[in-house]
């Protein structure tokens, strides 16, 4: 297993982050090439094992991106995702991986800049984080 490969995995909710990522691309906004966008029907679809597997497959950081508070199309999907991301930080810390490498972001579909900022932020964190 080659961990902390350098690539970033972004689980993107199809109602918010995915269209935002799409817009960012079309607008020519710059963000690192090694971001792998994975489209999900809702941030709440992402479970702990998906986050852990992403790291097993070499991700240096994982983003879980969903709708803004109160705007989830599945009502509580983004809330559940938030709790799971928090818990996954604990699971990572248990194996000496910096919990800061996983984070939840909330955005609306017409916020491509927010998407780019999030991705750039996580890239910066992975460069700074030793572990």
Partner 1 sequence: MIIAERKPMEEIKQLIVPYRKVLVAGCGTCVAVCWAGGEKEVGILASQLRLARSVERNEISILEATVERQCEREMVAEIKDKVAEAEAVISLACGSGVQTMAEMFEDKPVFPGVNTTFIGMPEREGLWVEMCGACGDCFLDRTGGVCPIVRCAKGLLNGPCGGTRKGGKCEIDPEKDCAWVLIYRRLEKQGRLDLMRNYYAPKNYRAVKRPGKVQAAKA
Q: Footprint of partner 1 on this chain (CB under 8 A)?
A: 1, 3, 48-49, 52-53, 55-56, 91-92, 94-97, 131
For the bound state, the minimum distance from the C-beta of residue 4 to partner 1, rounded and expressed in Å, comes to 9
DSSP 3-state of 64: strand
Q: For residues 75 and 61, what is the distance between their CA atoms, to the nearest angstrom?
A: 27
* Cβ closest to partner 1, residue 61 vs residue 92: 92
Q: Which of the 8 DSSP states describes residue 36?
A: E
* Cβ closest to partner 1, residue 43 vs residue 51: 51
* Cβ closest to partner 1, residue 85 vs residue 118: 85
Q: Are 72 and 66 in contact (CB under 8 A)?
A: yes
**What is the distance, to the nearest Å, from the Cα of residue 131 to the centroid of all Cα atoms in its chain?**
18
For the bound state, the minimum distance from the C-beta of residue 112 to partner 1, rounded and expressed in Å, comes to 32
């Amino acid at each position: 297993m080659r961990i902390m490969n350098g690539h970033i995995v972004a689980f993107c909710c199809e109602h918010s982050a995915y269209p935002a990522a799409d817009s960012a691309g079309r607008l020519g906004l710059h963000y690192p090439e090694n971001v792998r966008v994975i489209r999900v029907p809702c941030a709440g679809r992402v479970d702990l094992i998906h986050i852990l597997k992403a790291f097993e497959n070499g991700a240096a950081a994982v983003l879980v991106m969903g709708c803004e508070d109160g705007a989830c199309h599945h009502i509580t999907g983004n809330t559940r995702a938030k709790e799971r991301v928090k818990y996954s930080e604990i699971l990572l810390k248990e194996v000496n991986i910096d919990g800061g490498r996983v984070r939840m972001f909330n955005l609306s579909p017409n916020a491509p800049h927010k998407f780019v900022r999030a991705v750039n932020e996580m890239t910066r964190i992975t460069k700074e984080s030793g572990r």
